[in-house]
Amino acid sequence: MTLSGLVSAGTHPERTVQAAIDGFKKDPSEFVGRLIPELIGTKGAGLARGGLRLAVKEGAEEAASQGIRRTARNVIEKDADDVARRPGEKICEKDPVDVATGRMVLPQTDVALPGVLPLLVKRQFESSYRLGGWFGPSWSSTLDQRLETDTEGVVFVGEDGLVLAYPHPAPGVPTLPSHGPRWPLDRVEGGYTLTDPESGHTRHFADRSDTLAVLEQLDDRNGNWITFEYDAEGAPSALVHSGGYHLGISTAEGRVTALRLTGADQELIRYGHTGGHLTEVTNSSGRPTRFTYDESARITSWTDTNDSHFTYGYDDQDRCVHQSGAEGHLRSTFAYGDPDPATGESVTAITDSLGHTSHYRVNRHCQVVAETDPLGATTRYQRDRRNRLLSVTDPLGHTTEFHRDADGNPVKVIRPDGREARAEYDAPGLPVKVTRPDGTTVRQTYDDRGNLTSITDAAGQTTHLAYDAAGHLVSVTDPLGHATTIATDRAGLPLRVTDPLGATTSYERDAFGRPVAITDPAGAVTRLEWTVEGHLARRTAPDGTTESWTYDGEGNRTTHTDALGQVSRFEYTHFDLLTARTGPDGVRHTFTYDTELRLTEVTNPQGLKWSYTYDPAGRLAAETDFDDRTLTYAYDPASRLTARTNVLGETIAFERDELGRTVRKDAAGAVTTYAFDLTDQLAEAVGPDGSTLRILRDRYGRTVSETVDGRTLTYTHDALGRRTGRTTPTGATTTWSYDPAGRRTGMVASGHSIDFTYDAAGREVGRHIGESLSLEHTFDVLGRLKAQSVRTARGGLLRHRAYEYRADGNVTRVEDDLSSRTFDLDATGRVTAVHAAGWTERYAYDEAGNQTEASWPSTHPGGEATGPRTYAGTRITRAGGIRYEHDALGRTVLRQKTRLSRRPDTWRYEWDAEDRLTAVTTPDGTRWHYTYDPLGRRTAKLRMAGETVVERVDFTWDGTTLCEQTTTSTELPHPVTLTWDHQGLHPVTQTERITSATSDADIDSRFYAIVTDLIGTPTELVDEAGETAWRTRSTLWGTTAWAADSTAYTPLRFPGQYYDPETGLHHNYFRVYDPETARYLSQDPLGLVPGPNPVTYVPNPHMWVDPLGLKCEEPELPEGYTSRPALNDPYHPDVVDERIADMREMYGVKERPASSMIGANGTQVTSKTMWNHGPYRIDVENPNPGQRPGQMHFQDQSNPTAKYQYNFSDGKFEGLPRSIEREIANVRGFHAGIRKGLNMLGEG
């Protein structure tokens, strides 16, 4: 964990552990063994490791015949600074080239079997490396690790090209290397031990001769081990793991020819060699990846399994001077300057395929000290002699300093604002105390093997962890004493996870350690099948329905067959870039990229094009949407977004502080300012109209109150930081209680108790409202709601509703005690017809998902909108008898309803520069005005009579969830307040109060239980006597009617939506929704990131929701949270990017650095890569300028869906497989990348 991660982990230590436990339950990303005979270059996977004698001997003979240098001692004497650098300490560019030395580096991972100590087989090519053996002279590898001894000392030859020189150690007196990481080498009987203090791994070498010691065993602090077995000739024959893995190795003529897994009876990967060089690597696809070499053993080209081709050229110093893909992809030239005689520094210039040149200044120790982008912006670095980062200064002069102890541990980080974070370590170098910049501390303890045994947060609450003798996590006990237990297999992979209430999830695993059967606490079994490389091939659900996937040789998903047997197809071009996706309905989207692999154009099925252009530094400079509207973007030298300008010439400008946080936003003259507290969280924001947001937090960073324009919402929390109480501005109080498993079991809302009960799988099966009412839910084996019943206190059935589903999970029938509705569906799951007694709705759609025809009964509201729809681009121009006009930004500015024998009814809409609806004029001339707080939440709507306000509705938000409104009007004697309480996206209660105009005293109040449909749309209000006070009848897309004699009312509609009677539209946080046309009045602020159509609502409103007006998602939230922001900080709506990450594939696109976009509302989501290593990369994004500076994620480019969001609360990438986490956790460059990203994001 990084120092920043340690700092933030103390805020919510239970999440640090819960993330791991939840990961056990995930399907299928955690603890999944993956074989990765990876792609080439930037498509490669991971590092490489090595060691042994026969190959060294034969390789030496070949090398001698070719005049290739072979002695490790000679390498040290010539390039000690270079070879002592680990992969994470190198800055590599393009496909990939170490900019300090010019050496082409090609890391590959062939096998990765999971466990507390993962079993990894890796290789790494380096264009100057000649110490290899089992895969040829220019490849280091796991099987080539060794110690070479001579009169001067001992030289360690590592698996990733690392070479360390030691003086001879005396037994019991370890020595340290002259350069590189401080790994002590000790002499023991019959050999040596080499210890990596950071990972806790020890390598045991056995003397093979006077000059050679070979790797015999690798073990960790807990005694888990991997032994290296050899045949009588000294060739590697097997790797045997204490967890039960047995990896067989075949060799011939001094080269490894195949790897196989005993127990799986499966050949994993096959190698071909020509002239002693590795020339073919073949995975289960049967198609080889091919390499060619020059006479100096340098790779001159690779051709992958899809026949994509890449070439390299070198100078006489083994430096790559040019490279190019078959069609010019990543075509680059490299120029290396001569060292300055005075400073020893040189400059490497890299010119990309578009002619843009970056410069890297390198010192005599092979360290990059300055990086200048093509626009001249320079970032500067300082490192110590062991390549540890000491400071980084961005192009604006903002410096972050890292102070280290003698062992290299960061003990102090000084941020650009001068504030500090500190860490203290125990003797083995494990962090025991971290002091954050706000002065709060986090403490950790460990057992004698280095396993984390407790975390004490800033509030003094301690979480305890326990392990078995092998270091496998066996229990986690939260500060309240609630324990989760874990039973593992020999490798440390979970077999059973039991929560504090005894509910158990069980796993069966194959020989690769991958889950093949998962049994949930209710007994439902999901079965999984995998490819040899670890890609999910088939999932069989508990009801027997199946989905399947196929992949090409590069691991790209080529087809997905759903539970109905319908097939989606995916096509790719060079570097595995997705070029087309064809859905089961034949609808096709295509994608185009430039030679720098950046997305430049999306073409929808109608032929409309959305294009992107980039500046020389690779940042998104402009995007042109489907309607040919262009947005342009500007950045400061540190690549932070500073301005966005639309086609109207309106500019939104951002000013940032030294941490990159937005402190001022100017939206075409409307200025908003932001200030932050000592915990670096938003403390105050003031909008252009004087709207003020103030957030008060306790010393541990938990929100105590939020005040918007004088209206205060207060909170209380328990020891775990969970919310236990909330009081609204009008005094409505809600309290919550939780069971040991963390589920919300009790709620008291305005004095009325609601109790929740759950089944073993954690699904809500009962809700009891006081003594008068209960809701009962039953679920099918897939966990889908099967029936819902509402009963009175005496057991009388007030309402019963049953659901039926298609095999793909879409609803086909809803039957209740008043009616039965059936639904016709197309291939993609869209509803084309609704049938009920005396009721029919019909809908047709075009290829882009726009409605082309709609009808519903004429007796229902909105009948004027029935009929055909016409469009101009993405803009709707007519729906039945209603016509629309739009401004230059595509926003609806006029809606006109045709009337017989009278003037048409006309609504006019006004918008601000941030695409927020600010005013509406209704057909009778009434004008409504809308106001917003600095976070974009609507705070009020006002009905005007000239300059006089005759009606006012004030809104209060709990994060991004509307929780209260108060209406005052000249037509009402007293204010009327509605307060809502939610369970996830589902409103649970509505309290209506008439209060005094001069105080918060209640004059009268009424309480209602809210009954909702599958997704959380209110269908009934039931009063305390068990009587239905309000019941709706709605069209599929939300046009709603209710009985005239209803005694109550709620404006809540689809989750996150609020009905405005003056417009007939639904306010949906970031946008406004029209239920008559199933589309929004403006484009999605995130552009195409959430989905292929930036204007339409969700594909099927029975199964999908869009609570923020940003993107559709499945309506699931963790128990106990009312909205996703509550998972971290509810006052930064950074849920945007989290939700995008959750929805990993609308197109099935692999998310690469340049395929991110900036949305139509100036929301920056362009990635900046902070670190890369083989297939792994850390990117930062800025999804919400003006609120949180951004997000950070870890990307595994070898896996189509592997993108893991960084959790600022626990300092981890959520869901990151442990095998990868352990692989990269000790790479210093990885930690530096996180720190660099956190600094850029303003997280410190």
Type and span of the H or E element at 559:
strand 557-561
Please check whether residue 1119 lies inside any domain of the structure.
no
Please check whether residue 1175 lies inside any domain of the structure.
no
Find the range with the poorest average confidence among 205-214, 262-271, 838-847: 262-271
In this structure, which amino acid lies at residue 811? V
CA–CA dist 107, 305 (Å, integer): 17
Phi–psi pair at 22, nearest 5 degrees: -60, -35
pLDDT-derived band at 1148 (thresholds 50, 70, 90) equals very low
Q: Which of 1191 and 231 is assigned the larger pLDDT?
A: 231
The pTM score is 0.85
Could you read off the pLDDT of 934-957 as tens digits, one per residue? Answer: 999 999 999 999 999 999 999 999
pLDDT at 817: 87
**Joined tokens for residue 246:** 């047995």
Could you read off the pLDDT of 272-317 as tens digits, one per residue? Answer: 999 999 999 999 999 999 999 999 999 999 999 999 999 999 999 9
Please check whether residue 1116 lies inside any domain of the structure.
no
Average pLDDT rounded to a whole number, residues 992-1015: 89
**Total structural domains within the chain:** 2
Please check whether residue 1162 lies inside any domain of the structure.
no
The total number of residues shown for the chain amounts to 1244
Of 1046, 1080, 1114, which closes a domain? 1080
Query: Which residues are registered as beta bridge partners of 92?
Result: 98
Of 1049, 1080, 1111, which closes a domain? 1080
CA–CA dist 613, 432 (Å, integer): 48
Q: Where are the alpha helices (DSSP H) in 1162-1225?
A: 1218-1224
Pairing label, strands 557-561, 567-572 = antiparallel
Closest of 335, 339, 381, 338 to residue 357, by C-alpha: 335
pLDDT at 1169: 61
Decide if pLDDT at 673 tops 80: yes
Query: Which residues are registered as beta bridge partners of 788?
Result: 777, 801
Decide if pLDDT at 1140 tops 50: no
Q: Please report how many Cα atoms fall inside a 13 Å half-sphere around the Cα of residue 780, on the Cβ side.
A: 16
pLDDT at 1202: 62
Q: Are 45 and 1198 in contact (CB under 8 A)?
A: yes
Please check whether residue 626 lies inside any domain of the structure.
no
Domain ranges, residue 830: 657-1080
CA–CA dist 1111, 1147 (Å, integer): 14
pLDDT at 1197: 56
Of 360, 387, 414, which closes a domain? 387
pLDDT-derived band at 818 (thresholds 50, 70, 90) equals confident
Decide if pLDDT at 5 tops 50: no
pLDDT at 1200: 45
pLDDT at 39: 31
Please check whether residue 1231 lies inside any domain of the structure.
no
Q: Are 1075 and 862 in contact (CB under 8 A)?
A: yes
**Joined tokens for residue 853:** 């025809």
Nearest 10 degrees: CA dihedral of 455, 456, 462, 464?
A: 20
Could you read off the pLDDT of 217-260 as tens digits, one per residue? Answer: 999 999 999 999 999 999 999 999 999 999 999 999 999 999 99
Closest of 879, 873, 939, 839 to residue 1064, by C-alpha: 879
Closest of 86, 342, 29, 53 to residue 205, by C-alpha: 53
Could you read off the pLDDT of 137-195 as tens digits, one per residue? Answer: 999 999 999 999 999 999 999 999 999 999 999 999 999 999 999 999 999 999 999 99
Average model confidence (pLDDT) for the chain? 87
Please check whether residue 499 lies inside any domain of the structure.
no
Find the range with the poorest average confidence among 23-32, 425-434, 923-932, 1033-1042: 23-32
Please check whether residue 588 lies inside any domain of the structure.
no
Closest of 529, 576, 585 to residue 557, by C-alpha: 576
CA–CA dist 991, 494 (Å, integer): 45
Closest of 656, 652, 655 to residue 670, by C-alpha: 652
pLDDT-derived band at 1207 (thresholds 50, 70, 90) equals low
Decide if pLDDT at 451 tops 70: yes
Nearest 10 degrees: CA dihedral of 1127, 1133, 1138, 1140?
A: 150
